[in-house]
Amino acid sequence: MLKMSRLTDYGTGVLAYLAGTGTKPQSASGVAEQTGLPAATVSKILKSLTRAGLVTSHRGAQGGYALSRPAEEITAAEVLDALEGPLALTECATELGSCELESLCLVGTAWQRINIAIRGALDEISLAELASMEAGRRLRVDLRTLVSSPGRTARLERG
């Protein structure tokens, strides 16, 4: 099963929140309050997102965090890379020549092709789409429920 970490799930929620606030910087404490996540967790996420170049930090009284570019230009693949590291279904799927058994392996090339296909699909989905609140059937993750019930699978609710 492909599964992202809880921190990545939270990070996606933080990015979605920032996407909805425009270009005005948001304080880490304000993001924590609005998402229902612990302040320390939000700070850790924002630092990772800043290092990855998805978020910029602004100092001063009017400072805070904002997306580094429009949400339409940030891909789901970039979000996963920033929070999880490069996508890889298996160790050998990260790049050609990364496994000493590659020349003998009968399935490595197939996993690499699958990895490339998944990466391509993630590159086609923007943060704006992930954060979209458009009409139609959509799923919403209640971050407060996730925080209050550690160890449980994210509870999805129809929005």
The per-residue pLDDT for range 89-106, each reduced to its tens digit, is: 776 656 666 667 666 766
Predicted TM-score (pTM) above 0.85: no
Q: Look over the chain and give the mean of its residue pLDDT values, rounded to a whole number.
A: 79
Q: How far apart are CA 63 and CA 113, in angstroms?
A: 43
Within the chain, which residues score under 50 in pLDDT? 133-141, 146, 150-159
Q: What is the DSSP letter of 90?
A: S
Q: Enter the tokens of residue 93.
A: 């799927």
Across the chain, how many H-helices and E-strands are there? 7, 4
Domains of the chain: 1-72+138-148 (1.10.10.10), 75-125 (no CATH)
